[in-house]
Structure 1
Amino acid sequence: MSEKKEQYYLPPPKLGKWEGFRKFLWDSDSSQFLGRTGASWAKIFIFYIIFYAALSGFFAAMLAVFYQTLNTKTPKWKLEESIIGTNPGLGFRPMPPESNVESTLIWYKGNDDNNYKYWAEEIDRFLEEYKKAGQTPGVGQNKVICDFNNPPAEGKVCDVPIKDWSPCISENGYNYKKSAPCIFLKLNKIFDWMPQFYNESSSLPDNMPEDLKNHIRDSNKPNELNTVWVSCEGENPADIEHVGPIQYIPRRGFPGYYFPFKNYEGYLSPILAIFFERPKTGVLINIECKAWAKNIKHDRADRRGSVHFELMID
């Protein structure tokens, strides 16, 4: 008597590639779509909804805790404790095109309107914040008109009037068409930094330009000596010879009533215009401008407390 053999598993029929793919997409025998039944897909879908909801909630909670430690108006690390430090730098405008982002050369043809137009438009863009309507004191802004006898009150900021800076005005094309251009300077902002002014003749440093020393000594308004002074000159003897006379508009520095920077709403960095009256044309002129205060250190290699640019007018 032969034993009856039981077969517990029958191998699936061999299917071709296309038939196997169709069966994977939808198996009518087991009602499976992509290898899972409807109930299986529902369970995994609900699992991932709960999982990602919990993950998002955890991330949002951690982000909320993190923002509780931040102050949008005041940095956590200031002055010596910050990466920026306590030594502000100078910036200049207009800047060369983005295609020459590493360049500091201002080069144009004074007799070509289209050529110098770029530089004038760059200054217009830079001064846009200073020209915006509605920023005039007395029209609901927290800006006030300041002078050395009337510094801003707590929470107020000083206006930076630029309308009467002729010839360094937009209507005049900032004098570029006359081959006597205006370059604008600004002091970089450092929160809570207060300059230590050179307001005594005996404290003037040896390396300060003589014309600036004389300007400070000849001042008959002691309170106006509370200024971060600015000097611009050619870097080398040939540059000094070619740069020609320079005017500082509206004054030779940044008034002390703009400091310290407290990040109050509407604050604008003080600026001034450097007017080159008769620079020599056809030659490259290296120019270095420095800001002067007792707590501003100068380092030409790192451009600390100073800025360098080149001027060339064809």
Structure 2
Amino acid sequence: MSGNKESDGGWRKFMWNSEKGEFLGRTGCSWFKIFLFYVIFYGCLAGIFIGTIQAMLLTLSDYKPTYQDRVAPPGLSHTPRSEKSEIYFKMSDNSTYKKYVDSMNELLRNYDEGRQTKQLKFDTCGEDPLTYRDQGTLENSLGQRSSCTFPRKWLGDCSGLTDSTYGFKEGKPCLIVKLNRIVYFKPRGPSDNSTLPEALQGRSYQNLIPVHCKNKRPEDASKIGEIKYFGFNGGFPLQYYPYYGKQLHPHYLQPLVAIQFTNLTIGEELRIDCRAYGDNIKYSEKDRYQGRFDVKITVNS
């Protein structure tokens, strides 16, 4: 019993020693010094952290990413997209291509003419390819920039206006192609037509980034059939560039190219390679969407 009392008294004395004025083994002055040390220590850490963040913020722009090494040159993307870039459907079963049609409708909804108004700062920029529509630098005080209209009717048979299935019902599927957005990027058209595919040679591509598709495998050469291109003569006109970013270009619509495969061999898995051609548009085998893409299309009856 006496041992327990001594033990209880020892703990009580450790919590508060009235003789020495200690709480948990330390005097009030000792606790104050410890508290002051940690306030100064963590205050210095917080100051260093805040200072480094502020220094980093001074290097950033409100309008343009400081580093764009991972996004230039631009990627070439297509709609509809699917897992593993494989498009498979049956003409006789609309449930097999409904998801493709839905994705096309979602993309082109913003290209309805009723959504491209002067109130939203849309301007008519002409139906012929023109040079860049420069609206100052990113850092000037011009405010929100205007955008060029791009009515979906320019996509012809792939606009969804005359054929709500975008050719899938007839076994003539469409793809909608666009260059991915990069802030203040100015694509340059091909300066040497001899570097272009044979099908593109002999034409003028002033102020235009042409797009061309062909068979990826030699054995598919006779199975692809005729390919039609809709939009600005099958390319991206330069008057839609540069793009000024979401803050300055909130309603911007990039130009589109519609591609329709009008005579694909039924029941065959076909590999198709599509590329955009320009002096500053590069390709990479490591990135299948850098300036190009390839897609597998299988049409069954």
**TM class, shorter-length:** 0.7 to 0.9
CA RMSD in angstroms comes to: 3.9
Matching of residues 164-179 of structure 1 within 5 Å: 164-170=154-160, 172-179=164-171
In the alignment, structure 1 residue 194 sits paired with structure 2 residue 173: no
Letter in structure 2 aligned against 1:242: K
- C-alpha distance in structure 2 between counterparts of 1:281 and 1:52, whole Å: 71
Matching of residues 82-231 of structure 1 within 5 Å: 82-85=69-72, 87-97=73-83, 103-131=84-112, 135-139=115-119, 141-147=120-126, 148=129, 152=133, 154=135, 155-170=145-160, 172-198=164-190, 203-210=192-199, 212-214=200-202, 216=203, 225-231=206-212
Preserved contact between residue 176 and residue 257 of structure 2 (Cα < 8 Å): yes
CA 1:282 to 1:213, structure 2 compared with 1: closer, same or farther past 3 Å? same
CA 1:164 to 1:157, structure 2 compared with 1: closer, same or farther past 3 Å? closer
Preserved contact between residue 270 and residue 296 of structure 2 (Cα < 8 Å): yes
Rg (Cα) greater in structure = 1
Cα shift at 1:232: 0.6
Instruction: Point out where structure 2 has 5 or more consecutive residues left out of the alignment.
Output: 17-23, 136-144
- C-alpha distance in structure 2 between counterparts of 1:136 and 1:59, whole Å: 46
Instruction: Point out where structure 1 has 5 or more consecutive residues left out of the alignment.
Output: 1-10, 98-102, 218-223
CA 1:116 to 1:13, structure 2 compared with 1: closer, same or farther past 3 Å? farther
Letter in structure 2 aligned against 1:165: L
Task: With a CA cutoff of 8 Å and minimum separation of 6, indicate the structure with the bigger relative contact order.
Answer: 2
Q: Deviations over 1:69-94 (max 9, x none)?
A: 2112123245xxx3434x33311121
- C-alpha distance in structure 1 between counterparts of 2:173 and 2:188, whole Å: 31
Preserved contact between residue 209 and residue 231 of structure 1 (Cα < 8 Å): no
Preserved contact between residue 288 and residue 307 of structure 1 (Cα < 8 Å): yes
Instruction: Tell me what 2:228 maps to.
Output: 247
- C-alpha distance in structure 2 between counterparts of 1:313 and 1:53, whole Å: 67
Q: What is the number of residues matched between the two proteins?
A: 273
Letter in structure 1 aligned against 2:148: C
Classify the secondary structure of the residue corresponding to 1:242: coil
TM-score of the pair, normalised by structure 1:
0.69
CA 1:149 to 1:308, structure 2 compared with 1: closer, same or farther past 3 Å? closer
TM-score of the pair, normalised by structure 2:
0.72
CA 1:52 to 1:252, structure 2 compared with 1: closer, same or farther past 3 Å? same
Cα shift at 1:280: 1.4
Instruction: Tell me what 1:265 maps to.
Output: 249
Identity of aligned residues (%): 26
Preserved contact between residue 296 and residue 305 of structure 1 (Cα < 8 Å): yes
CA 1:235 to 1:56, structure 2 compared with 1: closer, same or farther past 3 Å? same
CA 1:48 to 1:169, structure 2 compared with 1: closer, same or farther past 3 Å? farther
Instruction: Tell me what 2:238 maps to.
Output: 256
CA 1:138 to 1:283, structure 2 compared with 1: closer, same or farther past 3 Å? same
